Amino acid sequence: MRRFVIIGQRASASPDFSLADLAGSSGRLDVLLRCLRAALLVSHGLRRDTVVYLVLLGGASAPRSLRIDGASARFLRPDERSLALLVQKSLAAPVAGAGFSLVRPGVAVANEGLAAVLADLGPCSPYLLEEHAPDLREAALSLADPVFFLGDHQGLDPASGARLAALGASAIGVGPVSVHADDAITLVVNELDRREAASG
């Protein structure tokens, strides 16, 4: 199973953003939605072996987290508005207790941030996507249970960075140019696809 965790420093943890001005009203949730598409969607389908976590650290309800599981999610479309509507509806669902609660098929919400995600992940091989880090094409990558952590367009907040350092996440980079987070995910996914194909 492949898992991706995208941490949005100001991404809205509450559903009170406008679909007509997503980039302006949601703390740049649009960045995270593009990451979701890059990780989970392929031509005419979903990657059933992939789980995406969005950590939402912005707005009055923060922190909260979403988990979208490619094995059981349904009706995901690649356009940003459709994905924004899915997140908005999921964030509006009542959630109680600790950890992740399922709010629709394949989609769960937690009233916590990175702590809930790390508890949910359990044992795994953690990687942190960073600029200028060792190239993923040359890196040893676990194909069994890799987890890739990414910041948003502003990078990582210091608290999240410290947690991931404590977790022992290996830093990897995707190339010589500083690209959008969703492009970095596309490049990681392609590298994993290639290695899985090569290993039969």
Taking the complex as a whole, how short is the minimal distance between the CB of residue 187 and a copy of itself, in angstroms? 6
CB burial of 30-57 (b: ≥16 within 10 Å; e: otherwise) equals: bbbbbbbbbbbbeeeebbeebbbbbbbb
Nearer to a copy of itself, 76 or 118 (CB): 76
CB of 165 to a copy of itself, least distance (A): 22
Q: Cβ 44 to a copy of itself, closest distance in Å?
A: 7
Q: Which is nearer to a copy of itself, 12 or 111 (CB)?
A: 12
Please, which residue, 14 or 82, has the CB nearer to a copy of itself?
82
Kindly list the distances between the CA atom of residue 91 and the CA atoms of 24, 31, 130, 155, in Å, as whole numbers in the listed order: 18, 17, 29, 24
| Rg for the chain, CA atoms, rounded | 16
| Contact of 129 with 172, CB cutoff 8 Å | yes
Q: How far is the CB of 200 from a copy of itself (least distance, A)?
A: 11
Hey, what are 26's tokens? 């949601």
Query: Minimum CB separation from a copy of itself for residue 43, in Å?
Result: 4
Specify the residue, 22 or 109, whose C-beta has the smaller distance to a copy of itself. 22
Residues within the interface to a copy of itself (CB under 8 A) = 19-23, 30-31, 34, 37-38, 41-44, 77-82, 153, 174-180, 183, 186-187, 189-190, 193-194, 196-197
